[in-house]
Structures are given as structure tokens and as C-alpha cells.
């Protein structure tokens, strides 16, 4: 049976139904020495014919390499390998557990301090260590994943489970040690979402897969608050056992799924030196980083200061907590559903523009008429759309088809965390003037609009050539 190849003209869109436009013109070096249609330059510099997909094979030699044959009435049409959703499910479970363990003590800070006999500030440190270590470890973890994604994602899963188990002895020292272990695991897990989707999911499923993988993070956050409220610090041992059991089960499921390489995994070459510098030289990478920094920065600032900004309007801390939980829940739904639809319809830019408009309208509403009812409407719609932007941008980044995809994911996550720190600090200076703080958030989110010019998110025309696998799926 003839090999099944995808034929991509370097200067034209792919002929595959429903595919995105091709990568644009490429150089002679990029095409392996091909200098013209049907010719290749050899070691002496002379051009020689290259067998085309229309060339007849020599007698008795079988079909030519790359031949495209029309199926006969009794022939079988080769099919793409099946998407392995089990790998994504295992990944989502481990990713959710990293957030579950991160925020274990956040909803029960006061009671946890009393349980361990330490200050509330010390309990806060158990959560604050995560973003601090991520900043330090994000790029090194990305480089490790680019070299061996299955191995290092497996290491991240094991460390997540080990961190949950280390906390079980019950003392504050064990809690600190366990949180540190999980904090080291987190960048190995978060940075792998694009690599895993590219290796285990068919192209048509990757937008949905990345969306579900990203949404699992918010599921873990919600789970931390639900379990904290349901079990509480008075039953701290039970709470830690339940969370450790979930982490162990998730890690086991992912390790089983990772035993075999993904059917769409393609050797795109070893990660090259100076990956960060090379990635940053791509204007589209800089645009992605800017969009994530702006959008996630506004989201983190809202989740950090919403209660303080609404308190002058008479909104209680309990009510603000419910509003935040609703915002994250809406964002979880949006992250799971909208990115796949946007990719299929070519509406990535439209969805992000809508999220910007809704965020400006919502923050404007909170500046003009703060209250429980207006906040419920505003943060619900902001969460639904704004959190969906992250998996959309990650899916665009995955389409870059590069040997440094995990390093690129690290840059994107770093941008989100960095944007959150900067915007949160700016809002902190305006806590005494809530209306001005909400207007500032409007200005921050609007600053990302110039990065959306040209609808480049919908064409995916990267400067680097697209790698083509033998299964016919670019990776």
C-alpha cells in the first residue's frame, strides 16, 4: 500500500479539506536543497530531478515513495492513527492535582494556622512558593521537556504524587516539604500541555485537547475550595489523605498512558541552543506573550483584589468569595468549550476581541455601579470569556511545530504570571480608589488590541516551515 503523505506546497495553502493556510515561502535550505518544482541540488551544485508523486515506479519496484494512489473498489484507504484521549485525561487529572495541592490551605488559612500553631503569614507562604519557584524553573523545565517530553512529564506526575504523600505526617515541616516538591513538579506539568497535545491528538482535536488540559487547572482550583469548605482544617488529616489519594491515582493514570509514545509524535530535531532568544526573535511569539500578559494579568488582579475593591460598596468577604468561585467556574466552562469552536470556525480573533470588549464593559460597570448584583454579572461574563483566551493562544503556539514547544509554553506561562504581578501591584496602589482601579483594568486589557491586528491568529502563518509526519499530520 502506498505511503500516506500530506502534500504541502511551500507557497500555497494545503490542499487538505478544512486545513489552515500553509506556512508561506521557504528557503532552499528549508526544503532540503529543492531549487524548483521537481528538482534538487546535489553535493556538486547540479540540479537533478526529484521523483514526484505523479512519477511511475520502476517495473517491479512497487509504488514510488510519496505516491498518492486513488483507492480502488476493494482497497482500503489508510487512516490517521486514533487520537489517544486517555493521555489527555491523565494529564488533566495531574494538572488539576497540582492546583488542588497548591491551594490546599488557601480557603482555610486561619484554621490551618491554628492547627499547625503558626502565623497566617506562614500559611500564606505555603501557596506563595509556587509562583516563585515557577519563575525560576519554568524555562529549565521547558528545555527538559523539549529533550524528552514523556520522561519529564512522568517525573512531574510522580513528584506531584510524592508531594501529596510527604504532607501526611501532619507537622508544619512536612507541609512545607510537600508544597516544595509539588512546586517543583508544577512547571514540568504545565509546560507539557502543548507537547502532549501534539504527540497524542490528531490535528483536528488539538484545540479541544489543549482547551480541556487548560480547563483542568481551574477544576483543580475549584476542587481545593470545595474540599477545604467540606472537610476543613478540623479534619486536616482526612483532607490531606483525600488529596494525596487523588494525586497518586492521577499520576498512575498518566504514567500508564505515557508507556507508549503518541502516534503523532514526530522527531523535529534536538532542541537548539539559545532557544529563548530564537523564539523571542519571532514577532508572533512576542505578540502571544503580550496578549497572555495583558489578559492573565487582569484576571489575576481581579481575583487578588476583588473583595477589597468591592468592600466600600458593602460587599462582604463571603459574598466576594462566592463571586470569585463563580468567576472561576464560568472560566472553566469557557476554557473547555470556546477554544475548540473558535479553532474549527476560524474565529480565534473574534473570541479574543469579544473577551476584551466584555472585560472593558464589566470593569466599567463595576467602576460606575459596584454591588453584588452588578459584580455577579460582570465577573461571570469576564471569567467565561477571558479565561478562554489562554487555551486559544496555547493552541496557536502549538501550531508553530518547533523543537522548542515546551520552552515556548514556559514563556507563555511566565508572561501570564509576570503580567499578574505587575497589574496586581498597580491595582494595589489604587485600593483606596476602587473606581480608578477598575478603569485602570479597562486600560490594561485595551492595550492588547494592537496585538490582534491582521487576524494572524486565524491564519497560523508561522515563519518557520511546518514539519510533516509520515501519518500526514503536521506536529
Task: Indicate if 350 and 240 belong to the same structural domain.
Answer: no
**Which string of DSSP letters, residue by residue, matches 283-345?**
HHHHHHHHHHHHHHHHHHHHHHHHHHHHGGGT--HHHHHHHHHHHHHHHHHHHHHHHHHHHHH
CA distance 335 to 351: 12
- 43 belongs to a structural domain: no
What's the grid cell of residue 106? 488557601
CB 33 within 8 A of CB 41: yes
Task: Give the CA angle between residues 178, 181, 186 to the nearest 5°.
Answer: 120
Same-domain status, 230 and 283: no
User: Does 40 reside within a domain?
Assistant: no
Question: 339-364 b/e with 16+ CB inside 10 Å = b?
Answer: bbebbeeebbbebbbbbbebbbebbb
State whether 406 and 295 are in the same domain: yes
The pLDDT value recorded for residue 125 is 85
Strands, sheet with 34-36, edge to edge from the N-terminal-most edge strand: 34-36, 39-41, 47-49
* Shared domain check, 443 and 305: yes
**Residue 295's pLDDT is what?**
93
Same domain (yes/no): 300, 445: yes
pTM reported for the whole predicted model: 0.71
| 253 shares a domain with 281 | no
- Its domain, for residue 330, covers 275-460+471-475
Tell me: do 209 and 96 sit in the same domain: yes
> Domain tally for the chain?
2
Q: ∠ CA(147), CA(150), CA(151), 5° rounding? A: 75
Residues 244 and 366 occupy one common structural domain: no
User: 2 lies in a domain?
Assistant: no
Q: With DSSP H G I counted as helix, E B as strand and the rest as coil, what are the percentages for the chain, rounded to 5? A: 65, 0, 30
Q: 297 and 253, same structural domain? A: no
Q: Are 118 and 245 in the same domain?
A: yes
Residue 327: inside a domain, yes or no?
yes
What is residue 205's predicted lDDT score, i.e. its pLDDT? 86
Q: Is residue 299 part of a domain?
A: yes
Give the residue ranges of the chain where pLDDT is below 70. Answer: 1-80, 266-273, 400-403, 460-475
Residue from 302, 461, 288 nearest 390 by CA = 288
The reported pLDDT for the residue numbered 271 is: 56
| Gap between the Cα atoms of 95 and 218, Å rounded | 9
Of the candidates 124, 141, 122, 123, the one whose C-alpha atom is nearest the C-alpha of residue 133 is: 141
Burial of 382 (0-12, 13-18, 19+ CB in 10 A): buried
Digit-coded pLDDT (tens) for 221-246: 999 988 988 888 789 999 999 999 99
Cell of 357: 470588549
- What is the structure's pLDDT at 402? 62
Whether 21 is in a domain gets the answer no
Regarding whether 176 and 207 lie in a shared domain, the answer is: yes
- How many angstroms separate the CA atoms of 266 and 250, rounded? 26
Out of 243, 265, 287, pick the residue that ends a domain: 265
Query: Is residue 384 one of the residues assigned to a domain?
Result: yes
d(CA 196, CA 84): 10
Q: Residue 366 is part of a domain; what is its CATH number? A: 1.20.1250.20
Give the per-residue pLDDT at 13: 40
Q: Does residue 52 form part of some domain? A: no
Amino acid at each position: 500500500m502506498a505511503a500516506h503523505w500530506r502534500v504541502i506546497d511551500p507557497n500555497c495553502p494545503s490542499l487538505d479539506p478544512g486545513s489552515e493556510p500553509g506556512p508561506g515561502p521557504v528557503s532552499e535550505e528549508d526544503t532540503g536543497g529543492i531549487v524548483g518544482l521537481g528538482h534538487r541540488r546535489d553535493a556538486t551544485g547540479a540540479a537533478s530531478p526529484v521523483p514526484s508523486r505523479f512519477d511511475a515506479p520502476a517495473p517491479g519496484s512497487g509504488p514510488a515513495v510519496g505516491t498518492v494512489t486513488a483507492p480502488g473498489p476493494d482497497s482500503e484507504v489508510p487512516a490517521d492513527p486514533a487520537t489517544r484521549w486517555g493521555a489527555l485525561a491523565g494529564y488533566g487529572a495531574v494538572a488539576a492535582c497540582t492546583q488542588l495541592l497548591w491551594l490546599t490551605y488557601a480557603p482555610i488559612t486561619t484554621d490551618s494556622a491554628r492547627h499547625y500553631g503558626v502565623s497566617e503569614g506562614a500559611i500564606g507562604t505555603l501557596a506563595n512558593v509556587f509562583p516563585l519557584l515557577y519563575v525560576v524553573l519554568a524555562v529549565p523545565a521547558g528545555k527538559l521537556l523539549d529533550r524528552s517530553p514523556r520522561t519529564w512529564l512522568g517525573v512531574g506526575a510522580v513528584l506531584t504524587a510524592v508531594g501529596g504523600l510527604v504532607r501526611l505526617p501532619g507537622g508544619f515541616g512536612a507541609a512545607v516539604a510537600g508544597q516544595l516538591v509539588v512546586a517543583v513538579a508544577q512547571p514540568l506539568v504545565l509546560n507539557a500541555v502543548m507537547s502532549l497535545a501534539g504527540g497524542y491528538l490528531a490535528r483536528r482535536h488539538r484545540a479541544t485537547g489543549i482547551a480541556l488540559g487548560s480547563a483542568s487547572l481551574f477544576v483543580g482550583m475549584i476542587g481545593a475550595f470545595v474540599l477545604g469548605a467540606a472537610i476543613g482544617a478540623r479534619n486536616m488529616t482526612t483532607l490531606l489523605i483525600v488529596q494525596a489519594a487523588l494525586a497518586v491515582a492521577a499520576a498512575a493514570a498518566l504514567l500508564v498512558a505515557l508507556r507508549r509514545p503518541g502516534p503523532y509524535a514526530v522527531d523535529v530535531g534536538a532542541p537548539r541552543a539559545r532557544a529563548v532568544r530564537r523564539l523571542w526573535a519571532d514577532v508572533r511569539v512576542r505578540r502571544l506573550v503580550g496578549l497572555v500578559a495583558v489578559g492573565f494579568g487582569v484576571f489575576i488582579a481581579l481575583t487578588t483584589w476583588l473583595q477589597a475593591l468591592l468592600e466600600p460598596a458593602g460587599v462582604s468577604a463571603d459574598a466576594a468569595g462566592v463571586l470569585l468561585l463563580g468567576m472561576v467556574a464560568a472560566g472553566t466552562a469557557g476554557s473547555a468549550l470556546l477554544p475548540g469552536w473558535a479553532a474549527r470556525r476560524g474565529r480565534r480573533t473574534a473570541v479574543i476581541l469579544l473577551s476584551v470588549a466584555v472585560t472593558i464593559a464589566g470593569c466599567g460597570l463595576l467602576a460606575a455601579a459596584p454591588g453584588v448584583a452588578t459584580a455577579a454579572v460582570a465577573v461571570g461574563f469576564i471569567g467565561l470569556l477571558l479565561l478562554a483566551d489562554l487555551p486559544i493562544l496555547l493552541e496557536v503556539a502549538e501550531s508553530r511545530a518547533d523543537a522548542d514547544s515546551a520552552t515556548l509554553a514556559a514563556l507563555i506561562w511566565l508572561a501570564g504570571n509576570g503580567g499578574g504581578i505587575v497589574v496586581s501591584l498597580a491595582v494595589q496602589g489604587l485600593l483606596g480608589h476602587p473606581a480608578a482601579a477598575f478603569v485602570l483594568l479597562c486600560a490594561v486589557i485595551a492595550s492588547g488590541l494592537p496585538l490582534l491586528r491582521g487576524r494572524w491568529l486565524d491564519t497560523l502563518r508561522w515563519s518557520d516551515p511546518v514539519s510533516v509526519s509520515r501519518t500526514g499530520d503536521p506536529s
